[in-house]
Amino acid sequence: MKLIRNSTSEAVPLEDGFLWPDEFDWKPIEQNLERAIDGTAIIQEGMKISGRSISLVPADSDMGWIQLKHLRQVQAWSNLQEQFTLAFEWPHDNRRFNIVFNHEAGALEAKPVKGIPAVSLDDYFNVTLRFLELENDN
C-alpha cells in the first residue's frame, strides 16, 4: 500500500498490516423520513457523492508500522490542503482512492514501536491514519 501526493506524484510506502475497520460502515444513500399528519411516510433520499471514511489502524502492535522518515513526510502532507491517492497493492486488491486527511476525526496518530523516543529516522512507529474519500475527477 502507498500514499501518493497527487500534485507531485511523490509516494510514501505503507506496510500491509493495516485494517480498514470502517470499510463497510459507509451508506451511500442519505435518507430522511418524516410523517404527514395522517401518518403517510414522506421520504427524501439522495445519493452521497463523497465523504466515505477510510481509517487505517494497525491490526495489532506488531503491524501498521511506518519509519520515522516516512512518518514525518506523512505528517507534513497532512498539513496541506491537497488531495492524495491511497493505493492498495495486494494481489487480491488494487483499488485506488482519491482522499484528503480527515482532520475532524484526528488525521494522524503515532506512537514509537519500542515505547521510547526515536534515535534514528529508520525507527518504526505504530500509526493510525484517517482519510475521507472524495469523488474521483475522472
pLDDT for 28-51, tens place per residue? 999 999 999 999 999 999 999 999
pLDDT value of position 40 = 96
- Mean pLDDT of the residues in the chain: 93
Kindly state the average pLDDT of the residues 114-134: 93
Domain boundaries, the chain: 2-133
Stretch among 21-25, 87-91, 133-137 having the lowest mean pLDDT: 133-137
Cα 70 versus chain centre, distance: 16
Q: What is the pLDDT of residue 15?
A: 87
